[in-house]
Amino acid sequence: MITKSQVADCFEYRDGHLYWKGVTHPNKQYLADKPAGSLHKTGYRHVTWMGKVHKAHRLIFLMHHGYLPPEVDHINGDRADNRIENLRAANRSENQCNRGALANNTSGYPGVSWHKKSKAWTVRVMKNGKQRLIGYFKDLELAALVSAEARAKFHGQFAHQSLRARVAQLEAK
């Protein structure tokens, strides 16, 4: 189990990035004061340290809060943005709430899909592993707005940011 002090002894945090410090191995002196890790194809920054690969955002969270939650959520959805103000503790369900439409989504809106039998757009929301059917809509934009409101209601602060902005625009009208 990695501790806050171990991370603080080896890394310095600056503006969302980890930098190597206190490099004691003679063959690794070139790392001192250099950015730690590299960007992985998944979009996360990975750091090889103590014989293991660690995600930088988890090390940064541990460094600032002193514990590691089950998952660390990027509030703005940008996996490369590891500023501490963009990181928050989450469980699996909460972390899944804060994501946009999946790559295979044909409507372009999370939670909205075409229902062939009824020839309408279906709105569904997942929360804690349970799917809730919100309704069927003939108009895609209406379905998208209903989906945004439902996700804001069920997911609260973990609702994807673009959805929260859309609901705020509706309420302002």
Q: What does 136-163 look like in DSSP terms, one character per residue?
A: EES-HHHHHHHHHHHHHHHHGGGS-HHH
* pLDDT at position 103: 77
* pLDDT at position 98: 76
Two structure tokens written together for 140 = 């895609």
* pLDDT at position 168: 55
pLDDT confidence bin for 164, thresholds 50/70/90? very low
Contact 122, 133 (CB under 8 A): yes
41-78 confidence digits (pLDDT tens): 999 999 999 889 999 999 999 999 999 999 999 988 88
The pTM score is 0.76
Average pLDDT of the residues in 120-137: 91
